[in-house]
Structure 1
Amino acid sequence: MAQAIQGPRLVLLGTGGTIAGRAVQAADNVGYVAGQVGVAQLVTAVPALGSVSLDVEQIAQIDSKDMSLSVWQTLASRIAAHLERQEVQAVIVTHGTDTIEETAFVLQRLLRPAKPVVLTCAMRPSTALAPDGPQNLSDAVAVARHAEAAGVVVVCAGQVHGARDVAKSHTYRLDAFDSGDAGALGCVEEGQVRAFRPWDSAGECTPYDPKALARFVAVEDLPRVELITSHADTDGSLVRVLLALPHARPLRGIVVAGTGNGTVHHLLSDALRDAQAQGIRVRLTTRCAGGRVVPHPGLAFEDAKGLSPVKARLALALDLLLEA
């Protein structure tokens, strides 16, 4: 992927979300319809974009709860194409909050960009009395133009989060995102970026592989990986149903969100071992909001290496796709 930057040109790609949402009443911050305002219209509310050389493109116009493989394929392809342009400094993506952490993870895994790819969002619709979208988009511009920025990041409520660690941690607050033990990468203060630690991609050891992206873009479906949670009074029936049902997309993997440090109910564990015996890959993470599964010899299944359950599911699906 091209590294040289020969100008401060930015690309803004829209996918919908709350940042592009509308409500009937300005006081309504929850009863809105997402993905109603075009990304070009969002630009008009952000003074920071007035002096920027900017290309604007609408990729999708959806509520991010409905994010799909096809949108990811288009988005990844367009980002890759724009990053190859010598004059493009960075790509900004407007996105819904519900699945932004998953999109960020997929893009980082596939693109591993040296240039910044900045995802931003909003917790209030564009019609709110005090919408947060314009400030978040303005902050995203600051991050995109920051000299040390690299890789895929999420910018919301003045915080900059890395793609691997970011998670939506609150249903309603404007500062709805957290990066767990790792902490945010930095913050934006009055249009200036203050870094707390090195950007995630600064130490990226695996280079961008255009063949991996081409394979991802070409598939009709990702390998089927299901997410199951261990909890009190559970059993292995859900796993056994998954194994028994005929699927147009055969089951290839299971991620189990265990209790505590990756513990799994013994009945569920038995069923998962049966699944492994049938060739199903099983990975273990934790349902705890903080911390990770600390590896130890007694772990029942393959460790998900600190990823959240939803990201562990995507990581396994991508591994199955790209290792085949």
Structure 2
Amino acid sequence: MVSVRVLSLLGTILSAVNMQSAFAHTAGVEASTATVHKQATLPRVLVLATGGTISGKINTRSAIGYDAGAVTGQQLIAGVPGVEKLAQLQVEQVSNIASQNMNSQIWFKLAERIRKAFANNEADAIVITHGTDTMEETAFFLDNVIGDSRPVILTGAMRPSTAISADGPANMYEAVKVAADPQAHGHGVLVVLNDVIQSARGVSKMHTTELQTFHSPNLGPTGYVDPASVRFITAAKPRQILALPADHTLAQVQIVYAHADMDAQQIDDAVKDGARGIVIAGMGDGNVSDTALAGIERARKAGVIVVRSTRVGSGMTNRNVEVDDDRYGLIASMDLNPQKARILLQLLLANGKTKPEDIQLAFQTGL
């Protein structure tokens, strides 16, 4: 027969066990509540996926062959360890293409989705995954039409998602980290890859295959990022914001590449094809041959706006050096390369800017 003392001891043990279990349950609930609360206080980042190498898969046609746009944005996020600790993430697939197929209609989709997300307070920041070939063009377009101070970050990769040492996950992590950082406010659209933060105006792809392909040769980097920190080395400053054409149409602007033994055929053809603008990727400081200059003069008389840029990888295109811009009514692109000069001229024409002096002022704004 069990003694009263034994029964008492068993009761004490059971009571302690029950109490410990209750404490453990309470602690678990509190920890879970704290986790939920912490998650709820994280910045809300909307990820807009467009495709590119970052979403590519290896193809066996060569040692470095791959097919872009084979992985979804949701799959990309799932492959980035710890990114959920940086922000509350929502992913939307806008397109899934190689960036050489990027076009203005996708630009309009991105711009309108970003505007809507900010206007409806759906997100505190935007991250766009994008192929590197045209990333600078998309970034520059958005930088000129998105007037919100909240961060918009573009990122991508030089190696496909299935490659050895794929750079996409690290770039994605750092892009979200910059987007979630209060310092990013007011800097306009930014490009983040390989630990460097670049401005949309300054950045350009400078190497065909290197991981550190993006540089800002004229303006320098905006800052640096690693898993531990975000450091901006330039201050935020006001930017010109242009209206987004309601009809989703941009003016026809052609780029003509200058070279030795250059004639005016491409310039004349652009005018015949109905171009409203021509950007010259000129030699040196935006120079062309005398024959081509005669073609430019004909284009100006036909009412076509002509911008002189340069095929050189760095340096400003200055006014009135070897070409008399004042005489011909030409625009010097300043720091903008031909592809960005084309986008800015398209937007300016769509906004009713046709006077050379007004267009020249717009090209200088932001420097």
TM-score normalised to the size of structure 2? 0.79
Q: How much has 1:50 moved relative to structure 2?
A: 2.1
Q: How much has 1:296 moved relative to structure 2?
A: 3.5
* 1:115-161 residue CA offsets vs partner (Å, 9 max, x unmatched): 11000000000010110000000010111012210310001111111
Unpaired segments ≥5 residues, structure 2 = 1-40, 354-367
Question: Please, which of 184, 196, 205 is the counterpart of residue 159 of structure 1?
Answer: 196
Alignment of 1:168-317 (within 5 A): 168-198=205-235, 202-206=236-240, 212-213=243-244, 215-216=245-246, 218-219=247-248, 221-244=249-272, 247=273, 250-296=274-320, 298-300=323-325, 301-317=330-346
Question: Please, which of 24, 45, 59 is the counterpart of residue 79 of structure 2?
Answer: 45
Which whole-Å CA distance do the structure 1 matches of 2:335 and 2:59 have between them? 42
Corresponding position of 1:149:
184
Which whole-Å CA distance do the structure 1 matches of 2:350 and 2:83 have between them? 39
Query: Are the equivalent residues in 2 in contact too, given 1:285–1:312 (CA < 8 A)?
Result: yes
Which amino acid is 1:105 matched to? F
**Identity score, percent:** 37
Query: Are the equivalent residues in 2 in contact too, given 1:23–1:125 (CA < 8 A)?
Result: yes
Structural RMSD (CA) = 1.9
Q: How much has 1:93 moved relative to structure 2?
A: 0.4
Corresponding position of 1:94:
129
Larger displacement relative to structure 2 (55-64 or 183-192): 183-192
Query: Are the equivalent residues in 2 in contact too, given 1:22–1:36 (CA < 8 A)?
Result: yes
Which amino acid is 2:92 matched to? E
Question: Please, which of 62, 72, 76 is the counterpart of residue 111 of structure 2?
Answer: 76
* 1:196-251 residue CA offsets vs partner (Å, 9 max, x unmatched): 212xxx22154x56xx22x25x23x321100012211111111122233xx4xx21
Corresponding position of 1:3:
none
Which whole-Å CA distance do the structure 1 matches of 2:108 and 2:228 have between them? 32
- Select the structure that is richer in helix: 2
Query: Are the equivalent residues in 1 in contact too, given 2:270–2:278 (CA < 8 A)?
Result: no
The structure whose RCO (Cα within 8 Å, separation 6+) is larger is 1
Which amino acid is 1:227 matched to? I
Unpaired segments ≥5 residues, structure 1 = 1-5
Q: How much has 1:16 moved relative to structure 2?
A: 0.3
Equivalent residue of 1:80, what SS? helix
Q: How much has 1:7 moved relative to structure 2?
A: 5.9
Corresponding position of 1:318:
347
Q: How much has 1:191 moved relative to structure 2?
A: 3.4
Paired residues in the alignment total 305
Which whole-Å CA distance do the structure 1 matches of 2:55 and 2:161 have between them? 6
Which amino acid is 1:240 matched to? D
Which whole-Å CA distance do the structure 2 matches of 1:289 and 1:155 have between them? 20
Query: Are the equivalent residues in 2 in contact too, given 1:166–1:180 (CA < 8 A)?
Result: yes
CA radius of gyration, larger in:
2
* 1:174-211 residue CA offsets vs partner (Å, 9 max, x unmatched): 1110101211101112331111212xxx22154x56xx
Larger displacement relative to structure 2 (83-92 or 145-154): 83-92
Q: How much has 1:28 moved relative to structure 2?
A: 6.2
Q: How much has 1:22 moved relative to structure 2?
A: 0.6
Larger displacement relative to structure 2 (97-106 or 297-306): 297-306
TM-score normalised to the size of structure 1? 0.89
Query: Are the equivalent residues in 1 in contact too, given 2:59–2:67 (CA < 8 A)?
Result: no
